[in-house]
Amino acid sequence: MPDSAAGLAGGNGDANVRVMTQNMYVGSDFQALADARTPQQFFAAVTLTYQQILASRPSERAAAVAREVARDEPDLVALQEADIVRTGAPPATNVQSDQLKSLLAALDRLGRHYEAVAIVPEEDIEAPSTLGFDVRLSVRNVILARVGPSRPVKVSNLQVQTYAIQHVQPSPVGSITSRNGWASVDATVDGRTFRFVTTHLEPLPPFSVQRAQAQDLVASAADTDLPVVFAGDFNTTANDPQNPTFPTYQFLLNSGFTDAWREKHPTDPGFTCCQAPDLKNPVSALSLRIDLVLFRGDFGVKNIHLVGDRQSDRTPSGLWPSDHAGIVATLRVPKTGHR
């Protein structure tokens, strides 16, 4: 079970921080777009994808994620796919879904107040549909910080960077380039400072792109004497050495990072991905561990657990909050400068 708020305050000289990572999932796996071979098929796939996103009830799912956040009260939250969907004539401006806005509003209603202290703008893609309007998807990764009188973490030194190497996907209407990147803040807890970083590495082959992004992440975001926490969707299967993405995970460990989940639960697979694309599967289908909390430095792992993976976490419509489970970790922060 999560530590109590009183437990976070220390009492024995410890400085503790609770962090969370959650891929919010836009609501489609985009398979129809990948399968399209002609412009007409592509425009029809845009329509289908848009309808899939609406059917996944993004605001209802954001409210479910808000309940997870409210239950654990993490100090810092790493979000992936906190996306905006817009429609209209180009450029499309009519907002149909804004998962970040929905999440923050739901948290306010629950009396838990957070602010977005970092936003990584990723793809911003717009295409015609067969419905008489364009559909535009703006992909974002976000860092949230808890605000209020209850010992909030102080953040500074915001950094946002796009990876030099990106995945390029051909389509019948031209190439689509991913825009993965990372964001970081330096966080101070009870006089101890560490760097908190979120990212969403490329999921598609060739996996040399993903590995190059991980190398970039370590060389740039982790270029500090501060202790470092990485939290995000790394799209590398930490539970399967035979998977072609596993070398990315191994690289991160070889770069001096420790897997917080494996540190606390060495025999528990801790699966975080993936539910069915429509989120309606009655039994959890999680079978991969690709969402990670990694650290470099003398952190202690007081607690780490999954959220959004239980039947009781499902929305009133019976949907999983996301196709990913989230992770919440309570860490003891080392003294600044200890690595």
What is the residue-level pLDDT of the chain in tens, covering all 339 positions? 444 443 344 445 689 999 999 999 999 999 999 999 999 999 999 999 999 999 999 999 999 999 999 999 999 999 999 999 999 999 999 999 999 999 999 999 999 999 999 999 999 999 999 999 999 999 999 999 999 877 789 999 999 999 998 888 888 888 788 889 999 999 999 999 999 999 999 999 999 999 999 999 999 999 999 999 999 999 999 999 999 999 999 999 999 999 999 999 999 999 999 999 999 999 999 999 999 999 999 999 999 999 999 999 999 999 999 999 999 999 999 987 544
Q: How far, CA to CA in Å, does 152 sit from each of 12, 93, 317? A: 19, 35, 34
Do the beta carbons of residue 105 and residue 60 sit within 8 Å? no
- In tens, the pLDDT along 193-247 reads 999 999 999 999 999 999 999 999 999 999 999 999 999 999 999 999 999 999 9
**Would you list the DSSP string of 221-245?**
TT-SSS-EEEEEE----TT-TTSTT
The pLDDT value given to residue 13: 64
What does the block give as tokens for 167?
């995945």
Bridge partners for 328 per DSSP: 20, 305
Cα radius of gyration rounded to whole Å, the chain: 19
* Residues listed for the chain: 339
CA distance linking residue 3 with residue 13, whole number of Å = 16
Of 302, 255, 309, which is closest to residue 284 (Cα–Cα)? 309
- In tens, the pLDDT along 98-114 reads 999 999 999 999 999 99
Do the beta carbons of residue 272 and residue 286 sit within 8 Å? yes
What does the block give as tokens for 24?
């919010």
The model carries a pTM of 0.94
Name, in order, each residue with C-beta under 8 angstroms of 4's C-beta and a sequence gap of 6 or more.
Answer: none
Name, in order, each residue with C-beta under 8 angstroms of 335's C-beta and a sequence gap of 6 or more.
Answer: 192, 298
The pLDDT value given to residue 44: 98
CA distance linking residue 59 with residue 266, whole number of Å = 35
Question: Is residue 149 reached through a cis peptide bond, with omega within 30 degrees of 0 on the bond before it?
Answer: no
The pLDDT value given to residue 276: 98
